[in-house]
Chain A
């Protein structure tokens, strides 16, 4: 039975016909729905400067012409200046010919002071709130390399502690990087000098690379990174330490803004025991070449079975 047959007189006569009643109530429902939708989306009003048209349309790093790159660097400088009242020097440093960077870390010398961690944070403009660090120092009981026995949150009065050794871990700049392979948008890749970099403006924040990394080297900006103004390092590089945004990955890049300009990484310079060595493996006279050749017996690769071919080695004095 149709409804209109039930009430034959409702469509004609009567102060309010069934149809117009339905229209009114449908309209009221639609209005309520829209109001509820608006209320639901209200938090978005705080979403200022989430992105700009310029950023939205920006091309992938590999497709930016020098002219476009100049404008991008200009934009970054402008944004940094707005936020930190400090005009940064933003460059896009390219890899040098005949250079492949390699890092070696002397476990016999490391005392676990974490100065490298803090120097890295300062050099690379990492967020202070929430804390974000590229280097993780693991305190290990002597006699094992089983990382599950390590302590990540040690806070003693004094280091080193008896019976322990310290193993700092950071990005291993693998020659066969699992993180690069899995990225769905090619936002991360390996450069000619062996550094695996991230285009922060291209990353969509899926964190697949983070799941793929066997060294726990990648970090995600779960919140908007906050760098204390007085700590900002104005010497910046596009693929390096320029400030990042919420929702993208970052990681150690061997201080690209320093090393591609002929300087040592910050973590190496600050190390009080000289446990950290860095250089060009393609240069036969480099210190790093000597260490890897001469200390070969006592050199080892973390998680060698992963087949990631790291450019980061650990070695022992004797």
Chain B
């Protein structure tokens, strides 16, 4: 079939272009590949030694893997913050940028799946989760729900972006019925992936620190701050290293999204902290551990206060007009991302286990091997996102197009490569 052949050729060209770029591109990809391989090596060690190579124990049985997973589900969900303005409110500034947001969602989901996999004691039995082959405990287990919604979200986004990009490549208008319904499903679905991930924790009655309704709303608020903040940073990089024109208005629209989300996030944080500390019941002991430490055990205290400081500074910057200047906006975004990563990653997962249900206090600190695995997965995610951008930008610009298929057979794929020798500065 010519259709299949055309599509395969399209995929082949996408893959081909991922290997072409200027020295900065090679350096960036080279560094990421090295970190990826180091992470892979660390994971191989973990497979041999068992999860004993991590800092996790029977007392604190989830650590930095699940923390990163939680954060990244939020990043993936945040793609809707670009989709909603465009498809519901018909925002023009963000229109073309939706693709970049959804690509980030795909990269984030890939990282999520990787983080869950490395957290498994027996990854060789993963097919026990596949319905038909195994026994997926659906709808009983929230983890089964998470498996379903995350993979569903991945497929939805792959379909939407894949279709839009391929249409652009073929110079065809995308048929609305073939993607618009999926866009709206994906909007609801995005909310659901983060809600389900919150319920994963909230559903455990034995963990007072997690067993609260506010966790879900806080997850969404922090995700809608950190996700678009990451997209802002990605767009800033895109407009610097490629010829793709990202307008300031688009960044400022995203800024107002991050602004509102951050306000809600900090407000919900205040609600939570008030509830835990004002009533001062004996049940708030995990929160006490997190914020003030329990006697000599206080590993998380500097982290959580650092995160709160970053969040507050980010919020102040975002509210003040100063962040209309893009440099300050970047700083605010970095602060918000790091603050939220700490606060809803380690700051949420670890204190849930401290003290144990029997009152024992055992602290958790990730090992070097575990850290390497995590860095490897982050590098892998960035690598994937870079490849997605490297492919999609020329397609959106019409430089990678069906019309120039034949010229592409020569070594010089493009007339002037994105991230080319002399990229025009904005």
Contacts and interface: CB of A to CB of B under 8 A. Distances in A.
Interface stretch (B33-41, B258-266, B315-323): B33-41
Contacts of B414: 2
A184 B358 contact: no
B50 A214 contact: no
Contacts of B141: 181-184, 208
Contacts of A208: 141, 143, 200
A3 interface: yes
Lowest 10 A-B CB distances belong to which pairs? A205-B121, A247-B121, A214-B206, A147-B359, A223-B52, A222-B52, A148-B359, A184-B143, A40-B41, A246-B50
A297 interface: no
B41 A41 contact: yes
Interface in B340-382: 352-353, 355-360
Given A44-B44, A178-B205, 16 more contacts: A4-B411, A26-B19, A36-B33, A40-B40, A51-B124, A147-B355, A152-B360, A185-B135, A186-B137, A204-B129, A205-B121, A206-B116, A210-B58, A219-B58, A220-B58, A220-B121
B41 A182 contact: no
A306 B205 CA distance: 7
A42 B45 CA distance: 9
8 contacts: A1-B416, A43-B45, A44-B44, A130-B52, A148-B359, A178-B206, A204-B125, A247-B51
B143 A211 contact: no
A50, A51, A204 pick with most chain B CB within 10 angstroms: A204
A39 B37 CA distance: 9
Interface string A297-318: 0000001001100000000000
A248 B121 contact: yes
Nearest to A63: B135
Contact of B62 (A43, A207, A215, A247): A207
B412 A206 contact: no
A215 B356 CA distance: 9
A184 B136 contact: yes
A216 interface: yes
Interface string B140-182: 1111100100000000000000000000000000000000000
A222 B358 contact: no
Nearest to B376: A40
A24 B59 CA distance: 54
Contacts of B126: 204
Contacts of B116: 206
A211 B41 CA distance: 29
Contacts of A40: 37-38, 40-41, 44
Given A41-B44, A152-B358, A178 B204 contact: yes
B57 interface: yes
A1 B420 CA distance: 11
B411 A22 contact: yes
Contacts of B415: 1-2
A19 interface: yes
Interface in B52-81: 52, 54, 56-59, 61-62
B65 to A, nearest CB: 11
A207 B126 CA distance: 14
B124 A56 contact: yes
B134 interface: yes
Contacts of B119: 206-207
Interface in A183-227: 183-187, 202-208, 210-216, 218-224
A185 B128 contact: yes
Interface of A: 1-4, 18-19, 22, 26, 33, 36-37, 39-44, 46-47, 50-51, 56, 60, 130, 136, 138, 146-150, 152, 169, 178, 181-187, 202-208, 210-216, 218-224, 246-249, 303, 306-307
B47 interface: yes
A1 B63 CA distance: 52
Contacts of A212: 204, 206
Nearest to A5: B412
Nearest to B127: A56
Given A208-B141, A222-B56, A303 B357 contact: yes
Contact of A220 (B51, B125, B137): B51
B45 A222 contact: no
Given A37-B37, A221-B50, A247-B122, A216 B358 contact: yes
Contact of B47 (A44, A148, A202): A44
B41 A43 contact: yes
A146 B359 CA distance: 8
A204 B123 CA distance: 7
Contact of B358 (A36, A136, A306): A136
A4 B25 CA distance: 21
A154 to B, nearest CB: 12
Given A37-B37, A40-B40, A184-B129, A203 B122 contact: yes
Contact of A215 (B49, B128, B205, B357): B357
B137 A222 contact: no
Contacts of A307: 205
B194 interface: no
A37, A183, A222 pick with most chain B CB within 10 angstroms: A222
A4 B413 CA distance: 10
A160 B128 CA distance: 47
Contact of B128 (A2, A187, A220): A187
A205 B38 CA distance: 24
Contacts of A216: 58-59, 356-358, 360
A226 to B, nearest CB: 12
B423 interface: no
Contact of B410 (A4, A36, A56, A60): A4
Contacts of A36: 33-34, 37
A214 B357 contact: yes
B207 interface: yes
B61 A220 contact: yes
A161 B65 CA distance: 42
Given A37-B37, A40-B37, A204-B126, A211 B48 contact: no
Contacts of A306: 205-206
A19 B411 contact: yes
Contacts of A39: 37, 41
A64 to B, nearest CB: 13
B237 interface: no
A303 B58 CA distance: 20
Contact of A37 (B40, B52, B62, B416): B40
Given A41-B40, A178-B204, A246 B121 contact: yes
Nearest to B414: A2
A211 B60 CA distance: 9
